[in-house]
Amino acid sequence: MSKTRIAAVDVGNDSLKALFGKADFELNVPNVIARDTEDRPVIGIEDLNEKDPLDGIHIRVHSPALLENNAIYRVGNLATKSNNPNELDPGSSKSEEDQTLVMLFASLALDAVREENANLFKKTNNVIDANYTLGTGLPLREVKEGKDVGYRSQLLSSVHQVEFLVTPKYQGIKVNIKFDEVKVYPEGFAAYINLVMDNNLNIINRDLVDKSILIQDIGGLSTDIAVIKNRNVDDDKAQGFNLGVAESLEQIREEIRSKHGVELDSRRDVVDIITKKHDRNHIMVRGSRTSVHDITDRILMELAKKQYRHLRNVWSKNSQTEICYFVGGGAMVLKDYLKTLNNSLDGFNIGFFEDEKESIWMMANAYYKLISAFEKANNPDPKDKEKDKKAVKN
């Protein structure tokens, strides 16, 4: 029997973030796919294997869990350069989209195929059999609707195969993915875990443990507001909204195209423009540095007002709340606008994570903590048992 490998995967609406094993490998891939043909044209085919696999993910995916089985896709960076890139649409359910599964399976295959895992998974005639213990999550709204049960069942009930086609270094390799266990966590609860606990689920932020707090997780397509009381999520008061940054990013993208004639490949390009350290809110137009502040400020302030309205409504129903933390990629995009609104309006006690990576990777880190603790409890390492025995003797 193959050994199981831990995977913590956050299929975010902007990008997939994943941690594997003992956090020895991480992936960050734009959540963009594009249908493709088997023989995609490549200039300089002899140089294919000199390129980064993450810039050329070209796969066929077979899984009974997919609505469109055996389809061929460009994924991530390669898909953004396609004529038909597909990003998740507002109003869609993450648990019911093929795109979520394609991204998930692709990330696991990219981990399984690495040379570092050659001794972990069985490989026969270019076919790798890989077993994973998966920690992932869904928006609070979908969990409250019970969609996590069907999502987990789909993953556990079948073997899922990813075949690398014209992909650097991995062309011709197939990966059979089987899940030994799947845990699907509500995203709001996961954010709380990451705030207060370390990788061993030991409390690291005692100031927050017994406080009444809100966690407003702003994603691409949705926003979750978790209400935390007595160390638990209040399921009745927690709320999920079909309001994320994706529509606003698309609006910015369209206005830049209309006003300046500049075609941006994906929402990720828009995010880069509005969050980069230098020349923020500027683009190059025919070789000249050009400000798009007028477009981004107007559209993002409108979105920030809608997000602030949700905060105000939830806080009014939970009047003893002590602080609200804004997390997620959307929070990084809207941070300055939300702070401006709060300073001029209600003056709530709100917090952000100044470390951009910490905010964006919060879900993946939380899933990693939770699934690692689960795996450790159910399959304790013999070395740990020996340590415990010695500790008892001493």
Crossing angle, helix 293-317 and helix 329-344, to 10 degrees?
80
Of the candidates 66, 72, 81, 78, the residue with the CA atom closest to the CA atom of residue 38: 72
* Same domain as 245, residue 178: no
* Same domain as 286, residue 137: no
* Alpha carbons 358 and 254: distance in angstroms, whole number: 30
Query: Which range of residues forms the domain containing residue 103?
Result: 4-186
Tokens of 47: 């140089």
Mean pLDDT of the chain: 88
* Alpha carbons 82 and 77: distance in angstroms, whole number: 9
pLDDT at 1 > cutoff 50:
no
Q: How confident is the model at residue 202 (pLDDT cuts 50, 70, 90)?
A: confident
More confidently predicted of 40 and 280: 280
Bridge partners of residue 387, in order along the sequence: none
* Same domain as 57, residue 180: yes
Q: Residue 201: inside a domain, yes or no?
A: no
Q: Residue 199: inside a domain, yes or no?
A: no
List CB contacts of 304: < 8 A, sequence separation 6 or more. 334, 337, 338, 340, 341
Question: Among all chains, which residue has been given the structure tokens 């790798």?
Answer: 128
Tens digit of each residue's pLDDT (9 = 90 or more) over 17-64: 999 999 999 999 999 999 998 877 665 555 677 789 999 999 999 999
* Alpha carbons 391 and 26: distance in angstroms, whole number: 34
DSSP codes, 112-178? HTSGGGTTTSEEETTEEEEEEEEEEEE-HHHHHTTHHHHHHHHHHTS-EEEEE-S-TTTTT-EEEEE
* Same domain as 336, residue 223: yes
Most confident stretch, 162-171, 203-212, 355-364: 162-171
* Same domain as 20, residue 144: yes
* Same domain as 174, residue 220: no
Q: Residue 26: inside a domain, yes or no?
A: yes
24-27 long-range contacts (CB < 8 A, ≥24 apart) are: 24/116, 25/111, 25/114, 25/116, 26/364, 27/54, 27/107, 27/110, 27/111
* Same domain as 168, residue 218: no
Is 295 in contact with 256 (CB distance < 8 Å)? yes
Q: Residue 200: inside a domain, yes or no?
A: no
The alpha helices in the chain, defined as continuous H runs, are 77-80, 98-112, 140-144, 147-156, 187-196, 206-209, 246-260, 267-275, 293-317, 329-344, 356-360, 362-378, 382-393
Phi, psi dihedral angles at 163 (to 5 degrees)? -110, 120
Of the candidates 31, 19, 86, 23, the residue with the CA atom closest to the CA atom of residue 329: 31
Percent residues over pLDDT 70 in the chain: 93
* Same domain as 181, residue 66: yes
Q: Residue 315: inside a domain, yes or no?
A: yes
* Same domain as 134, residue 224: no
Average pLDDT of 256-263? Answer: 94
Estimate to the nearest angstrom the gap between the alpha carbon of 128 and the chain centroid. 25
* Same domain as 169, residue 226: no
pLDDT for residue 391 = 45
Most confident stretch, 103-107, 230-234, 273-277: 103-107
Query: The domain that contains 219 carries what CATH number?
Result: 3.30.420.40
Of the candidates 178, 163, 170, 174, the residue with the CA atom closest to the CA atom of residue 7: 178
Average pLDDT of 331-359? Answer: 89
More confidently predicted of 87 and 228: 228
* Same domain as 182, residue 63: yes
Do the strands 323-327 and 350-351 form a parallel or antiparallel pair, or are they unpaired?
A: parallel
Q: Residue 389: inside a domain, yes or no?
A: no
Q: Residue 218: inside a domain, yes or no?
A: yes
Q: Residue 388: inside a domain, yes or no?
A: no
* Same domain as 144, residue 21: yes
- Mean pLDDT check: name the lowest of 56-70, 74-88, 217-231, 379-393: 379-393
Class of residue 165 by CB neighbours under 10 A (exposed 0-12, middle 13-18, buried 19+): buried
pLDDT at 388 > cutoff 60:
no
pLDDT at 219 > cutoff 70:
yes
Domain count for the chain, please give it.
Answer: 2
